[in-house]
Amino acid sequence: MSKLFSNIATLAAASVFVLCLGVGTASADVTRYHESNGDVVTIDTPNVSAFVGATSKSQTSVSVTGPSPLVIANEKFLTAYGWGDSQWDGLSFAGYGCWAKTLYNGQSCTSTIAFTPASVGSLSENYMLATSSGTLYSHFTATGLRPYRVVTPVGSRVLAP
C-alpha cells in the first residue's frame, strides 16, 4: 500500500512541476505514468502556426523520470490522413532528436518540427512516439494563417528604403 502512495506522490510531483513551468495553452503537454515500471514520461509539443506558403519551426521535447530507461524506436506524426514521419498536413521533421534514443532518469531529447501550411485553418495533430513503454501521443494544433498584404491608397507613393 505504501508503494502505491509513493507512486501517486511521484506522479503528483511531476504534474505540479510541469504545470509550474508555465506551458499553458501555447503547447500540448502530456505526462504519462507507467505503473509497470514507475516511469513518468513528459512530452511537450507546442501548437504551431505559419502563414500559408511560409514555414515555421518549433521544438518538441520528451523527458523521463524513473528507474527504467525509455527506449524510443521512432517518432512520427499521426494525422487525419494517416501516420508518417514527413510531409503530412504540411508537417515535417526539420531535425530528429529523439528517434532511436534511450533516455535514462532525468534525461530528455528535443526534435524540431517544421510546419508549412497549404491552406488557412486549424488541424488537430498528434506527435507519436513508439517506445519501450508503448505508443505515446501528444496532441497539438497546427494553424495555417492567411498571408497579409500591404495595401497602398490610390495616388500614394511608396518610398523605397
Residue 10 predicted with pLDDT over 80:
no
Angle at 134 between CA 141 and CA 108, to 5 degrees: 65
Residue 56, pLDDT score: 95
What whole-number distance in Å separates Cα of residue 144 and Cα of residue 50? 5
Write the pLDDT tens digit of every residue in 81-90.
666 655 667 8
Query: In the CATH hierarchy, which fold is given to the domain comprising 2-145?
Result: Immunoglobulin-like (2.60.40)
Say if CB 102 and CB 77 are below 8 A apart. no
What would the mean pLDDT of 87-111 be, rounded to a whole number?
90
Return the SS3 of 27: strand
Say if CB 39 and CB 71 are below 8 A apart. no
The full set of domain ranges for the chain reads 2-145
Nearest to 74 by CA among 128, 23, 35: 128
Write the pLDDT tens digit of every residue in 125-153.
889 999 988 888 899 999 999 987 666 66
